[in-house]
Amino acid sequence: MSDLARINGETRLIGLFAKPVSHSKSPIIQNAGFRNKNLNYSFLCFEVDTHTLEEAVKAAKVLSLQGLSISMPNKIKIMDYLDEISPEAKMAGAVNTVLNDNGKLIGFNTDGHGYVNSLIEEGVQVEGKKFTILGAGGAGTAIAMQLALEGASEISIFNRNDEFLKVAEKNAELINNETKCKANAYLLEEPERLKKEIESSYCLANATSVGMKELKDLSPIPDSSWLRKDLIVTDAIYNPDKTKLLTQAEEVGCKTINGLGMLLWQGARQFEIWTGEEMPIEYVKEQVFAFA
């Protein structure tokens, strides 16, 4: 049965609030899961940015949407409009999932869960390893916090000299105070420091927007000489499926992982929050790659 044929007067709606939304694979992922499990839910995209977010959240509450998926640029601002925020979202300082619990909007963050599970699926270790993370926005923060909680030994967080630099510094302080992991925050504008940290890392993770949309021809590092064959390189970006950074990494022979696995696994956690059931992940993967 098609998704359209399943819609009736009892269908519960879940919406993606982001801008832009045209590239998103979330509708394919979530609707495939609903279809497979015969659940009466439908997932739709709405182009919402920080300027229209407050009104959109009010509308979601009035219209009794079951939940929301939150993406850029709304992951931090959404917290201002929620009734409750889960512990992992508070620690990450960002929300990417909202559950409407009988009129009470509860925020969660599944990005870190998604990233770590995408590593595990690829046989990548976390415990006892050093990671260098580029970016301290919503995704970068969630990744850093989850890695620290999962037993990473050291995390170097790099961010540009903008409003998120203070976030990077706070993240490092929180990790140092609340976990056994050692963390430091650095400026992306310090190339020698970045190069040094990459050299001593097990994994390099890009959580910036460099490599997508108008920045698709750019990389956060100058060239592949900064990488080595035994370094693992990941990118939170999944569209395009191979960013310039991952292309540079492949030239050296690095193991590379794009953001599709992170998207799938964070979506699986969202699915569980909204429906109370586990996502049929293998079926969903087939559907996602069929439409890739």
Task: Tell me, yes or no, whether 75 and 153 share the same domain.
Answer: no
Task: Tell me, yes or no, whether 55 and 169 share the same domain.
Answer: no
Q: Are strands 232-235 and 203-206 parallel, antiparallel or unpaired?
A: parallel
Q: Tell me, what's the pLDDT at 6?
A: 73
Q: Tell me, what's the pLDDT at 72?
A: 86
Helix axes 260-275, 26-37, angle to 10 degrees: 50
Task: Tell me, yes or no, whether 121 and 100 share the same domain.
Answer: no
Task: Tell me, yes or no, whether 8 and 119 share the same domain.
Answer: no
Task: Tell me, yes or no, whether 133 and 60 share the same domain.
Answer: no
Task: Tell me, yes or no, whether 156 and 104 share the same domain.
Answer: no
Catalytic machinery residues? 75
Query: Which amino acid belongs to residue 252?
Result: V
Query: Rounded to two decimals, what is the model's pTM?
Result: 0.89
Task: Tell me, yes or no, whether 160 and 198 share the same domain.
Answer: yes
Task: Tell me, yes or no, whether 23 and 151 share the same domain.
Answer: no
Q: Tell me, what's the pLDDT at 279?
A: 97
Task: Tell me, yes or no, whether 118 and 240 share the same domain.
Answer: yes
Task: Tell me, yes or no, whether 254 and 164 share the same domain.
Answer: yes
Q: Respond yes or no on whether the N-terminal peptide bond of residue 191 is cis (omega within 30° of 0).
A: no
Domain hosting 76: range is: 3-109+262-290
Q: Domains in the chain: how many in total? A: 2
Output the six-digit token pair for 65.
């949407």
Q: Tell me, what's the pLDDT at 142?
A: 94
Task: Tell me, yes or no, whether 202 and 251 share the same domain.
Answer: yes
Q: Tell me, what's the pLDDT at 287?
A: 85
Q: Tell me, what's the pLDDT at 1?
A: 55
CATH number of domain containing 80: 3.40.50.10860
- Give the mean pLDDT per block of 10 residues along the chain (292 residues): 73 96 92 96 97 98 97 93 94 93 97 96 97 94 95 98 95 96 97 98 97 94 97 95 97 97 96 98 86 56
CATH number of domain containing 157: 3.40.50.720
* pLDDT per position as a tens digit, 19-70: 999 889 999 999 999 999 999 999 999 999 999 999 999 999 999 999 999 9
Task: Tell me, yes or no, whether 49 and 174 share the same domain.
Answer: no
